[in-house]
């Protein structure tokens, strides 16, 4: 609705906000809008049917859960929650196109919906392994994991399988490997790069996870060049082969930018946004995994794939939608669980610490047995990231040092006499 005052256009009241994608980002945005007092119409649209499930457990506890019928413990929010917050959830309906000029969108049912403001929380989908003419994602017996339906297929297939091969040694591949081992399966992890977690973790953390999985009986193979996958048989470029009952491909994700691109919004490896998650159209925001944001943390464009980023970007976008001052960017954080080990990381491991054997990463052992943390420093000497394994204190201190921008030297961190708690006092 447009308000006219003294005959001039005065302001436009937002009456209807549509959020495309009802997962971690979309739901957090709707929740924040209500908390900030938005009393207009909020519609969440998701192509997945049913109530949305949490994503992180899908590679962990969900695969171990016995009951196929009742997954209610994994719901992101209950049906009541949507009602209590006055949210209109349209599940099992895909958005086919957006007209940013007319401020409408077209559903795959043929219905048109009007919006005043639009939030794109369309996330990402698993990258398909392309081998010449063959897309391995399409091959029989291959499973990829992103949402609840994928996880249900994987859970059922895991029950049947004896030999599981996981292509991709990233966090999802490794979490699935840990779950499969817990179920007593024989597991091989095939990674194309020279080390596990090569895109995201320090060299030291990669080595830690390789040893962890090997100690749990996983056959971890790096530098693997796969030539083909056919009926559960993996053929390598050097002519070797490996048989599997179940092949899981987890080689990263592709952001779902197609809707935005077709609507004429600026996209790259994600939907381009400013640091407040506003796209190239002033009334359209993009949040979560799909957003390629010029963020305040690194000053460059960054696309982050984590629950924390989905929530933080949702909070910032919601404040902007309400015309309020958005909260500041937080230092990114992430967690993973594999076997009995919980990783908590804060900050971003700099590329030099990711790629060079000569990294500036300091290893620190915690007070209790098995606690270990890796502290990566940027080339300018500033602390850039902490990866803590089973060491909540190292994680909390590292995160606070990063949040506050406290200058700390590698020597202080490397000194086993340093009491971490004292570093964040005052």
Residue in 51, 47, 62, 61 with CA at minimum distance from that of residue 27: 51
Distances (CA, A) of 64 to 69, 159, 167, 171, 183: 14, 9, 20, 17, 7
Q: What is the DSSP string of 330-384?
A: PPPEEEEEETTEEEEEEE---HHHHH-TT--EEEEE-SSTT-EEEEEE-TTS-EE
- Considering the complex, state which of residue 287 and residue 413 has its C-beta at the smaller distance from ligand FAD: 287
Q: Mark residue 196 as left, alpha or beta (left: phi above 0; alpha: psi -120 to 50; beta: remaining).
A: beta
Q: How far is the CB of 203 from ligand FAD (least distance, A)?
A: 21
Query: Cβ distance 120 to 286 under 8 Å?
Result: yes
In the complex, minimum distance from the CB of residue 122 to ligand FAD, in angstroms, rounded to a whole number: 4
Which CB sits closer to ligand FAD, 95 or 139?
95
Matching residue, tokens 């081998």: 131
Q: Residue 311 or residue 360: which is nearer to ligand FAD going by CB? A: 311
Q: Which is nearer to ligand FAD, 136 or 307 (CB)?
A: 307
CB of 235 to ligand FAD, least distance (A): 27
- Cβ closer to ligand FAD: 210 or 310? 310
| Choice between 338 and 360, CB closer to ligand FAD | 338
- Give the interface with ligand FAD as residue ranges (CB under 6 A): 20-21, 23-26, 45-48, 55-56, 58-59, 94-95, 121-124, 145-147, 172, 256, 259, 288-290, 305-308, 310, 334-336
Closest approach of ligand FAD to the CB of residue 317, in Å: 11
Angle at 348 between CA 290 and CA 330, to 5 degrees: 70
* Residue 414 C-beta: closest distance to ligand FAD, Å: 28
Which of 232/250 has CB closer to ligand FAD? 250
Distances (CA, A) of 274 to 72, 354, 411: 37, 27, 37
Contacts of 369 (CB under 8 A, 6+ apart): none
8 Å CB contact between 382 and 413:
no
Least distance (Å) between residue 25 CB and ligand FAD: 3
Instruction: At 226, list the tokens.
Output: 């796969």
Q: Is 52 exposed, middle or buried (0-12, 13-18, 19+ CB in 10 A)?
A: buried
Q: Where are the alpha helices (H) located in 36-147, listed in sequence order?
A: 61-64, 79-84
Q: Name the residue nearer to ligand FAD (CB basis): 45 or 242.
A: 45
Residue 270: how many CA atoms within 13 Å on its side-chain side?
Answer: 24
CB of 353 to ligand FAD, least distance (A): 20
Min dist CB 150 to ligand FAD, Å, is 8
């Amino acid at each position: 609705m447009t308000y006219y005052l003294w005959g001039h256009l005065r302001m436009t009241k937002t009456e209807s906000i549509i959020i495309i994608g009802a997962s971690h980002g979309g739901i957090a945005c709707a929740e924040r809008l209500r908390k900030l007092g938005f009393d207009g119409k909020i519609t969440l649209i998701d192509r997945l049917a049913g109530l949305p499930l949490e994503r992180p457990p899908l590679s962990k506890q969900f695969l171990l859960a016995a009951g196929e019928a009742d997954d209610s413990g994994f719901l992101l929010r209950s049906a009541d929650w949507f009602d209590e917050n006055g949210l209109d959830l349209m599940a099992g309906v895909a958005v086919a196109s957006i007209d940013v000029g007319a401020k409408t969108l077209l559903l795959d049912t043929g219905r048109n919906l009007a919006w005043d403001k639009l939030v794109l929380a369309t996330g990402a989908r698993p990258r398909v392994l392309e081998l010449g003419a063959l897309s391995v994602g399409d091959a029989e017996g291959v499973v990829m994991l992103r949402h609840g339906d994928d996880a249900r297929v994987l859970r059922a297939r895991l029950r049947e399988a004896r030999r599981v091969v996981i292509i991709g040694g990233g966090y999802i591949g490794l979490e699935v490997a840990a779950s499969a081992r817990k179920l007593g399966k024989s597991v091989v992890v095939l990674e194309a790069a020279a080390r596990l977690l090569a895109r995201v973790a320090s060299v030291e953390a990669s080595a830690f996870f390789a040893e962890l999985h090997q100690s749990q009986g996983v056959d971890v193979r790096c530098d693997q060049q796969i030539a083909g996958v056919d009926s559960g048989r993996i053929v390598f470029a050097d002519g070797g082969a490996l048989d599997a009952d179940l092949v899981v491909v987890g080689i990263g994700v592709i952001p779902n930018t197609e809707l935005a691109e077709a609507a004429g919004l600026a996209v790259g490896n994600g939907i381009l946004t400013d640091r407040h998650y506003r796209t190239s159209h002033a009334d359209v925001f993009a949040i979560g995994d799909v957003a390629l944001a010029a963020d305040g943390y690194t000053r460059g464009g960054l696309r982050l794939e984590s629950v924390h980023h989905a929530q933080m970007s949702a909070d910032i976008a919601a404040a902007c939608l309400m015309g309020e001052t958005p909260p500041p960017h937080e230092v990114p954080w992430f967690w993973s669980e594999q076997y009995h080990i919980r990783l908590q990381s804060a900050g971003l491991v700099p590329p030099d610490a990711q790629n060079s054997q000569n990294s500036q990463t300091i290893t620190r052992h915690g007070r209790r047995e098995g606690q270990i943390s890796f502290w990566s420093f940027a080339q300018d000497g500033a602390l850039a990231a902490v990866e803590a394994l089973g060491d909540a204190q190292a994680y909390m201190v590292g995160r606070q040092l990063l949040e506050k921008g406290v200058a700390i030297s590698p020597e202080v961190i490397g000194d086993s006499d340093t009491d971490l708690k004292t570093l964040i006092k005052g």
